[in-house]
Amino acid sequence: MEAIGLVLLLLLLPLLLFLVIRVRAGKAGELRPLPGMEELPKAVGRSAETNQPLHVSVGVAGVGGAATAETWAGLALLSELAEQAVASDAPLIVTVGDPTVLPIAQDILRRAYARHGRPNGYDPTQVRFIAPVPLAYAAGVMGLLQREPLRGNVMVGTFGDEYLLMGEAGARKGVPQIVGSADPRTLPFVYATADEPLIGEEMFASSPYVGRGPLQVASLLAEDWARWAIIAAIIGLAILKILA
């Protein structure tokens, strides 16, 4: 299986390089529209206009466990949002539910301020470690949603049943909510409470959609091409099997 994965990676590298060149030349086409992605820059803009914070959660899981991919998706999105927020002077409040994520999230914000020539503007307390237990984390975020005059609530990462407590608190407060989850058990709660849900693979595409870097966009296009190639191969093998 490892050999097959390596072969597929080697086959995708030329395609990825080709797509990067086309993206930089503006000839690769547009990504399919996702309403949740289009709302993210607007949430940063509302925060900048009103000087009221935008809350970002990267989930209740950490780095190094089974849910690492979901956590990295939240951190990657945080990196893009931090760049936009610092550039537009929009205040951010970031909450984490695992101690392994705390220094990473703090470093993301610190680097964003440094890249924009404002290293003294970084405040470590912008990133808050709430609690390592999901229910306790949810209780802390509920309090934050109720106390702070937030202009948006962005939650992308791993969430379980405790999400309903946070989602309902945000919905009752009238805070615009953009939520991404890959857990089928959580998705009904997301649909019920979020203004713009990001379902399954959409949450993993959030960073490229917001950042729009050539390599990021090319990687998404390469995945789409690979997906269609796999579908075509399955159909072709099925036809050959029927005709044999």
Rounded Cα gap, residues 112 and 79, in angstroms = 8
Tokens representing 145 are: 């949603």
Q: Please state the domain extents for the chain.
A: 35-212, 214-244
pLDDT of residue 7: 63
- pLDDT, average across residues 20-39: 70
Q: In Å, what is the CA distance from 213 to each residue of 1, 31, 85, 229?
A: 31, 12, 17, 24
Task: Categorize the per-residue pLDDT at 69 as very low, low, confident or very high, splitting at 50, 70 and 90.
Answer: confident
Rounded Cα gap, residues 58 and 71, in angstroms = 6
Q: Check residue 124 and report its DSSP letter.
A: G
Give the E-state strand segments of 60-162 in sequence order.
92-96, 127-129, 152-158
Q: In Å, what is the CA distance from 100 to each residue of 72, 105, 132, 138, 157?
A: 12, 9, 10, 18, 14
Q: Which residue has the higher pLDDT, 204 or 154?
A: 154
Q: Which residues of 15-35 are buried (b: 16+ CB within 10 A; e: fewer)?
A: ebeebbebbeeeebeebeebe
pLDDT at 168 over 60: yes
Cβ contact 113:146 at 8 Å? no
Residue 137: closest CA among 163, 155, 172, 113: 163
pLDDT at 107 over 80: yes
Per-residue pLDDT tens for 54-65?
999 999 998 888
Rounded Cα gap, residues 70 and 25, in angstroms = 32
Q: Which residue has the higher pLDDT, 65 or 109?
A: 109
> Domain spanning 35-212: which superfamily?
TPP-binding domain (3.40.50.1220)
